[in-house]
Amino acid sequence: MTPGPVGILLAAGRSKRFGTNKLLYPLHDGTPMAVACARPLCAVLPEVIAVVEDIHQEVATLLRAEGVHVIANPRACQGMGTSIACSVAASVAARGWIVALADMPFLSEAVIRTVLTGLERGADIVAPVYQGKRGHPVGFSNRHAESLMQLHTDAGARAILAANRESLELIEVQEQGVIIDIDEPLTRLILPGPFIPPA
């Protein structure tokens, strides 16, 4: 049987703006950021793949402890697109993919489940929207396998989204976490309006 949608966690970035490896940065409860991003994916999806730059690094070890299948992207320095391509190639039989970023720790299980439900009912591409702004994670049906495996720039899958506007299903959500990525320590983070992290 062809497996259902697979979760993809992009965790191969170099954290240039953060000053240190932000994926190891402890959130307010002490949980490393990458682990906080992996847990809701693992709670909703039977299979989650994390793409890292080096399978021997600490981030990879922490993610494996959460039950995530970790793979290395030897071309990570060439951009996010190569990590998406790498993970899709490693799970090409999947019915689709839900792509999340390892620096967005405020995504809830509910949002991921909403994207999954969209794919399961036959949507081509699904993404959450908060107050008119498209967020993450983004779900792709397996129709886009070839296009996803050809990605090679730091723009990620934006070109695929742009080329498929008519079949992109945007789902309005009330969770600001879908648009918040962490690029600096939370003690200095200025959020665009009131924000309450999901419990």
Domains recognised in the chain with CATH numbers: 6-181 (3.90.550.10)
Confidence at residue 22, expressed as pLDDT on a 0 to 100 scale: 87
Radius of gyration of the chain (CA): 16
Tabulate helix, strand, coil % of the chain (nearest 5): 35, 20, 45
Q: Considering the chain, what percentage of its residues have pLDDT values greater than 70?
A: 87
* Separation of alpha carbons 48 and 59, rounded Å: 15
- Say what the pTM is: 0.89
How confident is the model at residue 14, as a pLDDT?
Answer: 64
Question: Does the pLDDT at position 52 exceed 70?
Answer: yes
Average pLDDT of the chain?
89
Rounded-to-integer distance, Cα 148 and Cα 85, Å: 5
What integer pLDDT is reported at residue 28 of this predicted model? Answer: 85
d(Cα 156, Cα 85) in Å, to the nearest integer? 9
pLDDT confidence of residue 48: 98
Distance CA 56, CA 69 (A): 13
Per-residue pLDDT of 118-160, as tens digits, reads: 999 999 999 999 999 999 999 999 999 999 999 988 777 999 9
SS3 99: strand
